[in-house]
Amino acid sequence: MLAASEEEVLQALKDAMQCSVSQHIGWVKLLSASKSKAELHWGEDELSLPEIGQLFSQVREARRPLYLGALRETRYYSLDQGLESVLLAPLLTGDEIYGVIAIAAPETNAFSKEVHDFVCTLACLAAGGLESLGLTLELKQAHDQVVQASKLSAIGQLAAGVAHELNTPLAAIGLALESAAIRPEGAAQTLLSAEKALERAQEIVKGLLEHARQKDSDRELVAVSALFEELQETLGPPLQNRGQELKTEILSEGLSLLANHSELLRVLSNLVLNASDASPKGALVRVCAQREDNLVSIQVEDRGCGVPDEAKARLFEPFFTTKRVGKGTGLGLSVCRELVHRHRGEISFQSRADKGTVFSVKFPARLSQRRSILGSKHQ
């Protein structure tokens, strides 16, 4: 069966022949990519004679056009059935032949040199179209292979990351239990260490589940002002305890998003905490929102140590982190990107060493006709 794209090429070839050349009947035989023969014919009569197959084979082998203007004078006389002239041209590009096209008419010497050249030109154009389709198919197959290889590589990296991250807390749990068995009198302290390691392992698993979850969550109209108020309530005091300040600003009025409130809060909280971790005591972490055309843009800015150049390309990879061992799972930004993309948004960053970092998340804006439920709850 012909692919739709091949059918379109052949149909265009047939239409051009019928519109431009006077003929009684026409055929095209195509040798498809699967090496299965495909045929298309048109005209007043259906012709099924073995001799036409011989002519097609002759043109395919010779790789050049064939014109018989007086069939009665040739060994193909049995083709007559009212036909006297047959013109055949190969669909040829370089060394590749894709098929043969033929037209026939009842008159002797029915096709002039101009018609001959025209048919050969159409055959060449059709062959070029089929060649492009073949190259496109090969390119798609190569692309699919690269994507598959990338997926397998990502799975390998993920598995290695999981093993590496879980080995540390699991080893700590094992050592604590072994120590408790040897010295029961100190079991309370060792079991407390095991509990902390278990919490660490649970945090890693939770991050993995959040990263893998693809199901869309419930959405509602969320006022950015309400979101910022909650962000200030939950993270303002912890930053203050670190000797830092969290400042939220809304530069455009009436900003709202169709989003999942808790997921959006998780994204901003993660970015704010990362900014805090990268900043010294006394630093300011600034979160601002504004409208940019039909988008709501939210920026989280710090004046901390910045992202090293060698780490920028990998910053959103699962289990990659620039923090000290034990200070981060390396899943925070990866989860953030997943949640942002799930909301049809984009996340990016700009950073300079010792100058700070600005993370930007942009979402489609929503204009509410009523007050947001979340907005009224927090106002």
d(Cα 259, Cα 364) in Å, to the nearest integer?
10
Question: Of 189, 212, 235, which one is at a domain's C-terminal end?
Answer: 212
Residue pair 288/249 in contact (Cβ under 8 Å)? The answer is yes
Say if residue 225 is in the same domain as residue 366.
yes
Nearest partner of 306 among 296, 319, 293, 315, judged by Cα: 315
pLDDT per position in the chain (379 positions), as tens? 344 567 777 778 888 887 777 777 787 877 754 444 567 777 765 555 556 777 888 888 888 898 888 877 776 656 656 778 888 899 888 778 888 888 888 888 888 888 888 888 888 888 888 877 777 777 777 777 766 665 555 555 556 556 555 666 676 677 677 777 777 766 677 677 677 767 767 666 666 665 555 555 678 899 999 999 999 998 888 899 889 999 999 998 889 988 888 889 889 988 998 899 889 999 999 999 999 988 999 999 999 888 888 888 888 877 666 665 445 556 678 888 888 988 889 999 999 888 899 999 999 887 544 443 334 344 3
**CATH number, residue 83:** 3.30.450.40
Question: Of 185, 212, 239, which one is at a domain's C-terminal end?
Answer: 212
* Helices first, then strands: H and E counts in the chain: 8, 12
**CATH number, residue 184:** 1.10.287
d(Cα 2, Cα 7) in Å, to the nearest integer?
6
Say if residue 121 is in the same domain as residue 163.
no
Residue 211's pLDDT is what? 53
Residue pair 218/260 in contact (Cβ under 8 Å)? The answer is yes
Say if residue 365 is in the same domain as residue 238.
yes
Say if residue 64 is in the same domain as residue 127.
yes
Residue pair 261/228 in contact (Cβ under 8 Å)? The answer is no
d(Cα 173, Cα 194) in Å, to the nearest integer?
4
Residue 226's pLDDT is what? 92
d(Cα 91, Cα 123) in Å, to the nearest integer?
5
Q: Which two tokens stand for residue 26?
A: 């026409």
Say if residue 225 is in the same domain as residue 365.
yes
**CATH number, residue 359:** 3.30.565.10
Say if residue 111 is in the same domain as residue 17.
yes
Which range marks the domain in which residue 195 is found?
145-212
Residue 141's pLDDT is what? 76
Say if residue 236 is in the same domain as residue 255.
yes
pLDDT, tens digit, 9 for 90 and up, residues 119-167: 888 888 888 888 777 777 777 777 777 666 655 555 555 565 565 556 6
Residue 358's pLDDT is what? 95
Residue 363's pLDDT is what? 93
Say if residue 40 is in the same domain as residue 166.
no
**Number of domain units in the chain:** 3
Q: 0.75 exceeded by the pTM?
A: no
Say if residue 227 is in the same domain as residue 373.
yes
Say if residue 162 is in the same domain as residue 260.
no
Question: Of 212, 244, 267, which one is at a domain's C-terminal end?
Answer: 212
Residue 301's pLDDT is what? 95
Say if residue 15 is in the same domain as residue 133.
yes
Say if residue 31 is in the same domain as residue 105.
yes
